[in-house]
Amino acid sequence: MVATKETVQQVRDLGTEKYKYGFSTDIEMDIAPKGVNEDIVRMISAKKEEPEWLLEWRLKAFKAWQEMPEPSWQKVAFPKIDYQEAYYYAAPKGSDNKPKSLDEVDPKLLEMYEKLGIPLREQEVLAGVEGAPKVAVDAVFDSVSVATTFRKELEKHGVIFCSISEAVKTHPELVRKYIGSVVPYSDNKHACLNSAVFTDGSFVYIPKGVRCPMELSTYFRINAENTGQFERTLIIADDDSYVSYLEGCTAPQRDENQLHAAVVELIALDNAEIKYSTVQNWYPGDENGKGGIYNFVTKRGACRGRSSKISWTQVETGSAVTWKYPSCILQGDNSVGEFYSVAITNNAQQADTGTKMIHIGKNTTSKIISKGISAGRADQTYRGLVRIMPKAEGARNFTQCDSLLIGDTCGAHTVPYIESRNPNAKVEHEATTSKISDDQLFYCLSRGMSAEDAVGLIVNGFCKEVMQTLPMEFAVEAQKLIGISLEGSVG
Amino acid sequence: MALLEIRDLHAEVDGKEILKGINLTIEPGEVHAIMGPNGSGKSTLSYVLAGRDGYEVTGGEVIYDGKNLLELEPEERACEGVFLAFQYPVEIPGVAGTTFLRHAVNAKRKYHGEAEFDAMEFVKFVRGKAKDLNMPDDMLKRAVNVGFSGGEKKRNETLQMAVLEPKLAILDETDSGLDIDALKLVSDGVNALRAPERAMLVITHYQRLLDYVVPDRVHVLANGRIIKSGDKSLALELEEHGYAHILEAAA
C-alpha cells in the first residue's frame, strides 16, 4: 500500500501535458442564428442547395426528433443538453463556393491543418516518407468540407471520394438509394437530430471490382464556439471492392461542452470489404471535468453481400463523454464483422461504448476485441450485443473484453448481451480485469524508463492486438496518443 | 575511487528494520558475492540500491560513482549505470523484448544527451548483442518474459544487462530455479560481461554459482549485517560447514 501511494504522488507531480490541439483558429465565419427549429433545417438545406427529397427527409426527421424522448439506459451521466443553446451551422466565410484549389483556401485554415499534422498538400504527402502509400484527405472544418486531395487520381479508378454535400449534387441517385438505409432517422435521438441538421461528412463509392488505390481519410475539426458537429458519412463498396478509411478528430479547448453527433453508414456488397478506422482525440475536458466534447455517434455497417466484410477499429482517447456502438449487420451469407477497440478514459472522462453484431445470414462470423483503460476518476463501460437470429445457421462469435485499471478511483464495467435464437451458434466470451502492477512499473523504472514512459509502454502492450489492426500510417501516432492521454495517471 | 561505497546503511520494510548497518566497498572490475541465510536482508539490499518503493532508508549513505545514490530516482540510478537482475523477473504482455529494450536504451541515451536509436538501427544493435551471448533471436521477438521458463527469464536478464552496459550489476539470486545446464548458460553470459570498468554484486544462497562466476570477495550477510568477509575460499568454507558455524563465531 505504501508503494502505491508514493508512486501516485510521483506521477501526479509530473503534471499533465496540455491538450496540444487546444488552440483555436481566428477565421471569418458564417454562422447561423442560435438554436434548432424548422427554419434552421430549411436554411441548412438551402445553403447546401439540396433537392426537395432531401429537405423533406430532414423535415420528417426533425419532426420525429421533437417527439422522441431522451434515452436513459446509458451509464454515462451528463447535464441535460439544451439544444437551443448551440449553433447548428458554422462555416468559414466564402466556402459557399467550394475552393477550386488549395490556393483559394484561407491560408490560416491550411496553417491550422498543418499544425495538426494533417497532410493537406499532396506535395507534402508525396514528398513525405519514401515509398509511403499516398493518403487522400478530406478536411472538414466545423460544418464544411474544406478540401479533398487526390481527387483526380481516384477518379481514374472510378472511386468517388468527396463531401456528402457535393455527392448530393453530383451523384444524387447513389445518395438517395443508401442514405438512411443502415441508420434510419428514427433509430435514436441523436441519429435523428443528425438526419435533420447534418451539414457535411464524407461520401465514398468504390465501383465493382476496384481495390481503392490509397487510404481515404477525413479529419474533423470543430473550431467555432458552441457549435455542434453533425457530420454524416456514407461509404458504399460495390461487389468485389475494397476500401480502407480513416477518421481523425480534434477540437480546441473550451469551457463549454460541444455536441458531436455523427452518423456513419457503411454498405458492403458481394465480396466487398470496408475497413474503417477512427482515432478520436476530441478535447476531453480539463482535469476537473469542465468542458469537453460529447461524442454521441451512431455507426453501423451492413454486410449486405455474400462474403462481405466490415471491420471497425477505434482508438478513443478524447471527449468528455463517449457514447457509441459501431456495429455490423451480417445479412449476407458468409459475411464477417469485426470490432477492435481501445478506449482510454482519464481524469473525469466517461465512456459507454461497444458494438452490436447481428447475425442474420448463414455461416456468419464476428470478432470483438475490446481494450478499456481507465485512470484518474474516469468511468468506462463496455456494452456489447451479439444477436443470433433463428435462421443464422453456423454463426460464430468470439468476444474478448479486457479492462485495465490505473489507480484506485477509476471504474470499468462490462455489460455483454448475448441473444442466441439458433441452437447451432457458437458464441465465446472472455473477459479480464487487471491493474498495472507495481512490479511491472518498477521493472521498467529499473531499466531507466520514466514512469510516464513505462505506463505508455505497458498500456500499448495491453492494446497491441487492437493497435495492429490500424493502418500503419496512423499506428505510430495512435501509440503516442495513448502515452499522452495517460499522463498524470498512476501505476 | 571506489565504484560503490555503502556506509552504515540501515533500512526498513513495513516498519521492520532489515538492514542494520551495512558497510561495503566495491572497486570497478571486481565481483563481490553476498551469501547468507533466508531473511538476512540480501534481496532488501538489492532493492534499496535499485531504489524500490517500500524500502525506507533510515540511516547511512551510499556513494555510487561519486554521487549520492539514495537521492536519485530509480530510473536515474539505472541511467547512471546501476542494473538489477531480478530474482523473479516480471512479465510484460504485448511488449516485445526489442521494444522494451529500445525504450530503456533510449531513455539512458536521452539522459546523457546522446542521440536515440531509431527502431531499425536498434534491432541491428540488439541482435548483435544477442549473438555475442549465444542467445536465440526469438527471445527478442517474444513479449518480455511471457511464457518464459525460469532459465529463459534469467538469460533474458543477462541479455538486458549486455544491452544496457551497466557500471554496477546487481544479480539477485540469479541461480535460483535453474538446473545445471541453465546455470552454466547464465554464468557464461555473466562472465562474458565482466570488464575492468564494471563491478558486479552477486547475491546467492549457494556456492554452486560461484564455481562458474568466481568472485574476488565473498561477504556473509546475516541479521542485516555483514558478519564476515573473505576471498572465494570463504564460499567453500560455507558450503562445507553451513551458516550456523559462522553465525556462532560472530555472536
A167 exposed, middle or buried (CB, 10 Å; 0-12, 13-18, 19+)? Answer: buried
Do residues B227 and B220 touch, judged by C-beta distance below 8 A? yes
Residue B160 C-alpha, separation from nearest chain A C-alpha, in angstroms = 9
- Name the grid cell of A37: 427549429
pLDDT tens track for A130-164: 334 456 666 666 655 656 667 778 889 999 998 88
Helix (H, G, I), strand (E, B) or coil at A42: helix
Given a cut of 60, is residue A311 above it in pLDDT?
A: yes
Q: Measured in whole angstroms, how far is the alpha carbon of residue A178 from the centre of its chain?
A: 20
* CA dist., res. A141 & res. A120, Å (int): 13
pLDDT for the residue numbered A11: 36
Rounded to the nearest angstrom, the minimum Cα separation between A2 and chain B is 6
Give the Cα separation of A296 and A241 in Å (integer): 30
| pLDDT band at residue A17 under the 50/70/90 scheme | very low
Start-end of H helices in chain B: 42-50, 74-79, 97-111, 119-132, 138-141, 150-164, 180-192, 208-212, 233-250
Whole-number Cα distances in Å, B9 to B47, B70, B204: 13, 11, 20
Mean pLDDT of chain A: 82
pLDDT at residue A284 greater than cutoff 50: yes
* Cα–Cα distance measured from residue A82 to residue A38, given in angstroms and rounded to the nearest whole number: 17
Where are any strands of DSSP class E within A169-256? Answer: 202-206, 215-221, 232-237, 242-250
Going by pLDDT thresholds of 50, 70 and 90, the confidence category of residue A289 is confident
Please return the burial class of A437, using the count of CB atoms within 10 Å of its CB with bins 0-12, 13-18 and 19+.
Answer: middle
Query: pLDDT of A417-427, one tens digit each?
Result: 999 999 999 99
Distance CA A145, CA A232 (A): 12
Q: Which of A251, A321, A324 is nearest to A290 (CA)?
A: A321
Record the cell numbers describing residue A439, joined without a space. 512490479
State the cell numbers at B116. 536515440
**Chain B residue whose CA is closest to A463:** B94
Which are the contacts of B62, defined by CB distance < 8 A and separation ≥ 6?
B4, B5, B6, B7, B9, B48, B49, B68, B69, B70
Q: What is the pLDDT of residues A24-41, one digit of tens each?
A: 666 667 778 888 889 989
Tell me what pLDDT residue B243 has.
82
Q: Is A77 touching B (CB cutoff 8 A)?
A: no
Residue B68: phi and psi, rounded to 5, are -80, 100
Asked if A448 lies within 8 A of B111 by C-beta distance, the reply is yes
Distance of alpha carbon A273 from the chain centroid: 18
- Residues A306-315: what's their mean pLDDT? 96
Above 90 in pLDDT, residue A430? Answer: yes
Rounded Cα–Cα distance for residues A58 and A456 (Å): 45
Q: May I ask the CATH class of domain B4-92+167-250?
A: alpha beta
**Are the beta carbons of B174 and B85 closer than 8 angstroms?**
yes
User: What number is the ipTM of this complex?
Assistant: 0.95
What pLDDT, on a 0 to 100 scale, did the predictor assign at position A149? 67
Where along chain B do its domains lie?
A: 4-92+167-250
Write down the pLDDT at residue A209.
97
Q: What pLDDT is stored for residue A127 in this prediction?
A: 33
User: What is the 8-class DSSP label of residue A336?
Assistant: E
Residue A220 pLDDT more than 80?
no
B13 touches chain A (CB under 8 A): no
pLDDT tens for residues A78-137? 888 888 877 787 776 655 544 445 555 566 666 665 655 555 544 434 333 333 445 666
Q: Is the pLDDT of residue A474 over 90?
A: no
What percent of chain B has pLDDT above 70?
A: 100
Res A325: pLDDT = 93
Q: Which of A76-90, A213-227, A237-251 has the lowest mean pLDDT?
A: A213-227
pLDDT tens, residue by residue, A293-310:
888 999 999 999 999 999
Residues of B in contact with A453 (CB under 8 A): 103, 107
Percent of all residues in chain A with a pLDDT value above 90, rounded to a whole number: 48
Nearest residue of B to residue A444, measured between CA atoms: B104
**pLDDT value for B144:** 95
DSSP structure class, residue A34 = S
Best residue in B75, B105, B111 for a mutation probing chain A (most A CBs within 10 Å): B75
A464/B53 Cβ within 8 A:
no
**CB-side neighbour CA atoms (13 Å) of A487:** 16
Distance CA A275, CA A309 (A): 8
Cα of A479 to nearest chain B Cα, Å: 12
> Per-residue pLDDT tens for A321-376?
999 999 999 999 999 999 999 999 988 889 999 999 999 999 999 999 999 999 98
A290 vs A69, more confident: A69
Residue with cell 475494397: A242
Query: What confidence score (pLDDT) does residue A2 get?
Result: 30
Task: Give the mean pLDDT per block of 10 residues along chain B (251 residues).
Answer: 94 94 96 90 94 95 96 96 95 93 95 91 91 86 93 92 95 87 87 94 89 94 93 88 79 68
B90 lies within 8 A of chain A by CB: yes
